[in-house]
Structure 1
Amino acid sequence: MSATDGDAAEPLRRGAAAREKDQDERTVMRLRLGVGVIGVLLPLALPAGNWIAARLDGRSGADAWPGSMSGSYYTSTRDIFVGALCALGIFLIVYRFDRFNDILGTVAGTCALGVALFPTAPGSGGDAGRTTVSVLHQVFAIALLTAMAAFCLSMYRAPGIADRPHARRPYLVAGVLILVFMALAAAAAATDVGDDWLVTPLYLCEWLSVWSFGFAWTGAALALAADIDRLPRTRAFVGAVLGRLRSLGGLGAWIGGGLRPGSR
């Protein structure tokens, strides 16, 4: 091949490299968005699904809220709970960023699969096998929340994130909140506070922990999407989302200002 042919092929190589980079960024953005959507929707989908199933069955739906998210395994939304955790686990395992976060993501994803595949005990009592499975469930659940908090805190200082305040703040807040909610859940369990509440402290703390994680990942996905300015459909989607957030008030305006393409 002559030098002229090589020069002519260079733009093609650059174009192929740019398309590959766009595809990689789009894949990472979709993985982040998938994790975020699961985290945001799951805590509400479980009681809502139980209530709908109860009403269709002619019951009042007063028992729609399980004692914990894991307790959904013995309700009408078992398949939603198990399916969402398996999807979350796969998303986290295949997500790639840097080596340390790859390890944390794999640990968190494995724990999510463990929570889904080893159900909690249905109540007091139970045979030895069920008790062993329940213990494994508790270990995986605690490890999952801890890994989620560690993941968020590590992403706060991760390369490519540390220089983007609008993307790193949600990770820091989420990591701290997950640890706080874990401590509150442990305190409530030790003191039996709220055992008779419609929404138990354990479910509430799990709910808010998963929400913290989900919103952090959703914000990161939108931040990445806003930076991929070569994707017209992505820009249109992000613009619609930011428009909706701005209509909600000052918080939406703050988020929208931080997610503008090119902002750092």
Structure 2
Amino acid sequence: METYFVLRMVIAAGALILPATLLLWVALDSGVSMMGSLSAFYYSPARSLFVGILVAIGVALVAYRGYTRGENALLNGAGVLSIVVALVPTGDSSLPGLTVAGAVHAVAAVGFFVLAALSIFFYGQETLGSLSDPDQQRRYRAVYRVLAVLVVAFPGAAVLVAWVVGPSVALFAGEAAALYAFAAFWLVKTYELSQSHAELRIV
């Protein structure tokens, strides 16, 4: 269905474009400094870009209909949390202590990656039964599981590095890598659906 194809492309494109455009903005605009995380760009002139792309991803995730109620619940949850991450700012590094908004933002960010990974790991394979080749099914299943692990492993490792060595761009890199893994899933899923024609089974 063309509508779901467009939604998948919005999700994938948003996840790919956000880190890259923020880096490009830093490179081209001397008034924008490199931040230690994606969320820290909320306090920069790139705020509108950061908020707009995350809201677009969130709306697309909520609008997308998966293949089971469980997948829908996880995608809806991830979509709502993406919007929360966009609209509820992370803590301002120039101010001491953790604010309520900062805590909400952090929980939402962690929740987004966790729900995204769970949706891929448990439900990414739901349409593979429509493929006639068992070897092809196994390859897709393996790819989806690896991507699911990467979606949580990259930011998790980045947080650990930041905790050990202090503030750095490691968190930005980990978040960006996780978004790229998330985007890769949606691109691979789109290709898989073009082969399996399983989109007619969307609930």
Answer whether TM exceeds 0.5 for this pair: yes
Q: TM-score, normalised by structure 2?
A: 0.84
What RMSD over aligned residues (CA atoms) do the two structures have, in Å? 2.2
Q: d(CA) in 2 for partners of 1:70 and 1:223?
A: 32
Post-superposition offset of 1:27:
1.7
Aligned length: 190
Secondary structure in structure 1 of the residue aligned to 2:128: coil
Q: d(CA) in 1 for partners of 2:3 and 2:141?
A: 20
Q: d(CA) in 2 for partners of 1:227 and 1:165?
A: 14
* Structure 1, 217-226 or 67-76: larger mean CA deviation: 217-226
Secondary structure in structure 1 of the residue aligned to 2:29: helix
Q: d(CA) in 1 for partners of 2:80 and 2:114?
A: 13
Secondary structure in structure 2 of the residue aligned to 1:125: coil
Residue 68 (structure 1) aligned to one of 33, 37, 42: 37
Secondary structure in structure 1 of the residue aligned to 2:18: helix
Q: TM-score, normalised by structure 1?
A: 0.66
2:95 pairs with 1:118: no
Matches within 5 A, 1:90-169: 90-97=59-66, 98-125=68-95, 131-158=99-126, 160-161=127-128, 163=131, 164-165=137-138, 167-169=140-142
- The structure whose Rg is larger is 1
- Correspondence for 1:38: 14
Q: d(CA) in 1 for partners of 2:124 and 2:193?
A: 15
**Do the aligned partners of 1:29 and 1:225 also contact (CA within 8 Å) in 2?**
no
**Do the aligned partners of 2:88 and 2:102 also contact (CA within 8 Å) in 1?**
yes
Q: Closer, same or farther in 2 for the Cα pair 1:170/1:26, shift >3 Å?
A: farther
Summarize deviations over 1:104-139 as a string: whole Å, max 9, x none.
Answer: 0000000001000101122142588xx111111101
**Do the aligned partners of 2:125 and 2:140 also contact (CA within 8 Å) in 1?**
no
Gaps of 5+ in 1: 1-24, 229-264
- Correspondence for 1:183: 156
More relative contact order, 1 or 2 (CA 8 Å, 6+ apart): 2
Summarize deviations over 1:149-178 as a string: whole Å, max 9, x none.
Answer: 1111022332x2355445444321210112
Secondary structure in structure 2 of the residue aligned to 1:45: helix
% identical aligned pairs: 26
- Correspondence for 1:239: none
Secondary structure in structure 2 of the residue aligned to 1:170: helix
Secondary structure in structure 1 of the residue aligned to 2:81: helix
Gaps of 5+ in 2: 132-136, 198-203
